[in-house]
Every structure is written in structure tokens, then in C-alpha cells.
Amino acid sequence: MPVVDYLKYQEMLENAKKNKFAYPAINVVSETSANAVLKAFAEAKSDGIIQVSTGGGEFASGTALKDAALGAISLAQHIHLVAERYDVNIALHTDHCQAKKVESFLKPLLAESRKRVERGEKPLFNSHMFDGSELPLKENMDIAVELLKECKELGIILEVEAGVVGGEEDGINNEDAPAEKLYTTPDDMLYVYERLSEVKDAQYMFAATFGNVHGVYKPGNVKLKPIILKQGQDAVVAKYGEAAKFMLVFHGGSGSSLEEIRETLDYGVVKMNVDTDTQYAFTRPIAEHMFKNYDGVLKIDGEVGNKKMYDPRGYLKKAEEAMKDRVIVACNDLRSTGTTLGR
């Protein structure tokens, strides 16, 4: 199926919210990793979200250019083409654009989508994340409101964040963030709702923080408090009614127990970012291939090596398959397996 349009994306998110499941949102950095995700969603019969970070975009553009927006455009175009051959719905998203990168990353992507919309096409990306969490909340929302206005014009959903996801990922380092910043308060959630409601009928998602930490941690090392999501949702609903309930996003889920993940689904999480675990899944079979075929991959002692062993297609196929399998696990964990809406 084609990459979704605005109405289909809304339908996907409403379906998740109503039925208490979430879509895995998988970061990709190459055609190979994007292909793995597409294959996984198709096998799981799950609609899903594929996303590109600023670092992922830089990588995709090549080490000579390091142009995050250009790389994101390239990956998005590939996914638009290939997704046509699959029978599930795919939404495209950009991840963690901090305030200092809005002009170099988010604005060029919005401009590219505007060109497409003016030609009668769908926007390039279905949603974007503005991560203003390092700013005071008012300044964060001041920028978010202006971005939301532009996104609404183009049929794009905006994701925002209040509070800080701890740890380090993709060049964003919050390892020394104050503990209180890791937990979004009910007052914060009320303020976010009130500010974003200034843009009438605009669609958005909200990454509230509840102890989330990016990176690799053993189960039990990350101290999540999912009840914070319920408390914030209850505060918003009490003041503004059931329709005000947020569509929430879960960042930094590596190391979380399945019980904690499932609890967040009951509180309105409809999207969960998955990156660290799929990075490992992709790399593990490559490492195994290199260790097992050391003398074939390298030209040792004047020998010629074994082309079948050092041809990148051989080990990247293994990486694609392993990443695909890990994405299917995410679909099962988040209860999205078998929920595709079809056309």
C-alpha cells in the first residue's frame, strides 16, 4: 500500500487509542534497515511507523555531505516507492529534532512537503517530532505552536515533548539531566494541551516523560513510573473532557519490562519508539558472520579471500532478516500484530 495520507494516519492512531495498542516506530538509517521494517510489518500484519532522526539523515546522505535533511528525503523517497508493494499501512515520521536543528532539518523537510502538496501529492513525511524539551516549557510550546500551524496546513501531524528522556542516543545526551526533569507533571500536561489547542483542529502527539531513558540498560535499571501518564491524562480530562485525552508517545523503552510497556498502553500510548534494540539485532549477525568467516572476509597471508564472504549483500541480508524478527517482537509486545486497517 502507499505511504498513508493524513486521514488514514489519523484513523491508524485513533484505532490504537481506542483498542489500547501502540505502533512500533522504528528508526532506520539505510535502505536495508527500511526494508527490514517493511517486511516485518507485513509479516506481523501490523500497520506501523518508520522514522528518521537527524543523525540517521546525516548518515544516509553520506559522510562527505552529512546533510540530515537530504538523507531523510532520500530514505523517505525509497520508502514511498517500496511501500507500494506491501499490504500494510506505513506512516513516515522524523524523530527528535531539537530547537537548534529546526532550520537545518525540519524546515527543509516541511518545504519539500509543501512542494509536493502544491503538486497535488501527499506530504513527504506524515509526522515530525519537535523536541524542545531542553527549553523552558513556555519557549518549547511557543515554537511548537508555530510549527503546528504549518504542519496543519500541509496535512502533517506534529509530535512534541515536555520533560527530558534521559540517557544518550543519536548525539542527544541527557545523561546528566536533573531527576525531576525525567517526569512530566500534570500541570505540564495541562499547559501543553492548552497551548497546542490554540491551533484549532490540528492533530498532534505528545511525548510525556515518566522516567524514560535512551540507550542500553538491563531490565530493572530504568525506573519508570507509568502512573504519571495516567495522572496527567486524568488532569486534562477532568478540566477539558474526554476528547482532550492525549495520544501519547513512549521514548526510551529499552530495558523496560513487558508489564511496564503494556501498562502505558492503558494510559493512551499509541506510538513507541524502538531503536537501540533493532540496532543490536541488525549488527549481531554481521558480527557473527565476520567471526565465522574471518579468513574468507580478509585476504590473509597473500590469499585472495572468498568473495561470497566479503560481498556486503551476503551479511546485510542476514542483518535485514534479524532486524525484521526484532520488529515483529515489538509488534507483539505492543499488541499491534494483526491490527492492520487495510486500505
Q: Any residues with CB less than 8 A from the CB of 114 and at least 6 apart, and which?
A: 123, 154
pLDDT digit string (tens) for 198-246? 999 999 999 999 987 755 545 455 578 999 999 999 999 999 999 999 9
CATH topology of domain 6-287+320-333: TIM Barrel (3.20.20)
Number of other CB atoms surrounding residue 6 within 10 Å: 19
With 0-12 CB in 10 A as exposed, 13-18 as middle and 19+ as buried, what is 84? exposed
pLDDT of 165 reads 63
pLDDT of 221 reads 52
Give me the residue spans of the domains in the chain. Answer: 6-287+320-333
Q: Where are the beta strands (DSSP E) in the chain?
A: 23-27, 48-53, 90-98, 127-131, 157-162, 166-169, 172-174, 204-208, 213-214, 248-250, 269-274
Q: Which residues in the chain land under pLDDT 70?
A: 164-181, 214-222
pLDDT of 183 reads 87
pLDDT of 250 reads 96
Catalytic center residues: 95
pTM for the full predicted model: 0.93
C-alpha cell read off for 310: 566479503
Instruction: Say if residues 214 and 177 touch (Cβ distance below 8 Å).
Output: no
pLDDT digit string (tens) for 25-68? 999 999 999 999 999 999 999 999 999 999 999 999 999 999 99
Number of other CB atoms surrounding residue 153 within 10 Å: 13
pLDDT of 338 reads 98
pLDDT of 164 reads 64
What does R_g of the chain's alpha carbons equal in angstroms?
20
